[in-house]
Amino acid sequence: MSKNKNEFLFHLIKSLTKSEKRQFKIYAGRSYSANDKKFVQVFDVVEKQKMYDEEQLLKIKGLNEKQIPNLKVNLYKQILASLLNNSAMTQNNMVARQVEYARFLYNKCLYTESLTLIDKTKIIARENFQLIMLLELLEIEKAAVLQASDANTNNRIQRLIDEIAEVGRQLQNINRFSNLSISLTTYYQKVGFIRNTEDLKQVREYYQSNLPSFNPRQLSVLENLYLYGTVTAFYFFVQNFTEGYKYAKKSLAVFEENPQLKKVKTEHYIKALNNLLVAQNKLHLYAEFKETHLLLISLKRQKDIVFTENLNLNLFKAIYIHEMNRHFMLGEFKSGTRIVNALEKDLLNFIPKLNRNTVMIFYYKIACLYFGAYQFKTALKWLNKIINERVSDTREDLQSFARILRLICYYELEDSEMIQYNILSTYRFLQKKQNFVSYQQLIMKFLRNIKKTDTRTKTIKQFALLKQQMKKIENNRFEKRAFIYFDMVSWLESKIENKTMQEIVQQKAKQLLK
């Protein structure tokens, strides 16, 4: 068994709850005799390990090295079987089971019985928006109708043909929408927001050429859900948050109009709430942001939704990222760091399950909170987590701005040696990544020229000049993205007015929230 497969088994066992481990033992005890349960002994050994160590398996009495690969494969299968056997019966797996029953009846030549079951299950599949299961049922129905003797066979076949065509059309559109959405997301996770006219042209052309033509009046509930998600992703990518906000609201409206959809597409519902929160944050719609955030938090209390570990992970990620965003909106950096302190243990537990893009976003937001709270050494700790990652695994924009913010931390710590040491490496990195915008050039020029020996008056003039230069580019289409990563103008104003950055941001927040 390969190293990767060893890790798969180890990670699966370590992911089990106490209840799931107990389920596995009960399942194995009922299904196998004592002589056939060597895989349980393997389970007991691996379950106690902190890191996978195959040498310990060789210490199991009566087990030789040649048996281990097959036992591990069998153990993996048995764990999954025990979990599936004892999993909560959701509408999704209930329909899947009914599909298998219908196929079983068909194979037994019980065609009428199969068709009766299919008719009942199709209703449930439609109510729960399960198009793939519905298509499988229609395929079995097509075969069974030809075998069953029925006076209405011809009419039923025509209805079948129409149903299959309609479900196929919907699935085709959904696939095209979702494929476009995942392509845009993948590109965004690689480079971040669009950087220049060429980026905008490429993204717009790709989006327009891959968005399928459709009649809005013919789109089903699911088609609309995937369409709105894709359009939202595009507008966020090109930093048009006003349009993104409109389509994020449309996505959420689909769920409000179809409450059952929340149960069967809960992950999409979390994503819809997340997208709306992103737009409300960028547009400073704090009252709406609070309401949407409460909706997200209250989701956990809905007893009619079966929360898997995947859903819990997505919910954790969305709740805490936007809890940090709430503190940014209000300029409450110090209280934000208390959230981080409470969150850090959970975050470290979730990190192995989160994708690298999400982990880096957490790191960067945490670093910015500590910066705003004037805890620069702690901010550096989190920034270095980003910078020390392999660049190929991390968004280029986060890598770039983490380096810029690190230089500003060194300035605040009055560490001119580290500033000079890192300016050159940062310059080379930005040049290599073609990510050297005016915002970054101005900051690096400022940090290179400012000196400890400068008088207070001279230093304030330099800050004022940099602020003036920043204000000129703040609303530039391709420069303003930099201000999303770090509020440079507020930091400069804090230096000029001899106030904390928290005081400056809070003043602005009060004006914006009015």
Calculate what percentage of the chain has a pLDDT beyond 90: 40
Neighbouring C-beta atoms of residue 98, cutoff 10 Å: 19
Neighbouring C-beta atoms of residue 444, cutoff 10 Å: 21
How far are the Cα atoms of 135, 178, 324, 427 from residue 169, in angstroms, in the given order? 11, 14, 42, 51
Task: State which of 36, 67, 86 marks the end of a domain.
Answer: 86
Report pLDDT digits (tens) over 229-281. 999 999 998 889 999 999 999 999 999 999 999 988 999 999 999 999 999 99
Tell me whether residue 185 is in a domain.
no
- Give yes or no for a contact between 178 and 185, defined as CB atoms under 8 angstroms apart: no
Helix (H, G, I), strand (E, B) or coil at 256: helix
Tell me whether residue 42 is in a domain.
yes
Tell me whether residue 461 is in a domain.
yes
Position with higher pLDDT, 77 vs 275: 275
Residue 326: pLDDT above 90? yes
Evaluate if pTM is beyond 0.85. no
How many whole angstroms separate alpha carbon 470 and alpha carbon 461?
Answer: 14
CB under 8 A, 24+ apart: contacts of 118-126: 118/144, 121/95, 124/91, 124/94, 124/95, 124/98, 125/95
Task: State which of 86, 107, 130 marks the end of a domain.
Answer: 86
- Lookup: tokens for 115: 């068709």
Q: What is the mean pLDDT of the chain?
A: 86
- CB under 8 Å to 183, separation ≥6 — which residues? 206, 210
Residue 487: pLDDT above 90? no
How many whole angstroms separate alpha carbon 379 and alpha carbon 359?
Answer: 15
Tell me whether residue 206 is in a domain.
no
Residue span of the structural domain in which 484 resides: 402-514
- Lookup: tokens for 47: 């379950």
Question: For residue 88, what pLDDT is reported?
Answer: 53
Residue 51: pLDDT above 50? yes
- CB under 8 Å to 230, separation ≥6 — which residues? 177, 178, 180, 181, 184, 211
Q: What is the DSSP string of 407-451?
A: HHHHHHTT-HHHHHHHHHHHHHHHHHTT---HHHHHHHHHHHH--
Helix (H, G, I), strand (E, B) or coil at 151: coil
DSSP class of residue 391? Answer: G
Task: State which of 51, 86, 121 marks the end of a domain.
Answer: 86
Report pLDDT digits (tens) over 120-142. 999 999 999 999 999 999 999 99
Residue 225: pLDDT above 90? yes
Tell me whether residue 350 is in a domain.
no
Question: For residue 71, what pLDDT is reported?
Answer: 85
Tell me whether residue 170 is in a domain.
no
Tell me whether residue 76 is in a domain.
yes
Across 179-206, average pLDDT: 82
Number of domains within the chain: 2
Tell me whether residue 424 is in a domain.
yes
DSSP class of residue 452? Answer: T
What's the start-to-end Cα distance of the chain, in Å?
A: 63
Question: For residue 27, what pLDDT is reported?
Answer: 82
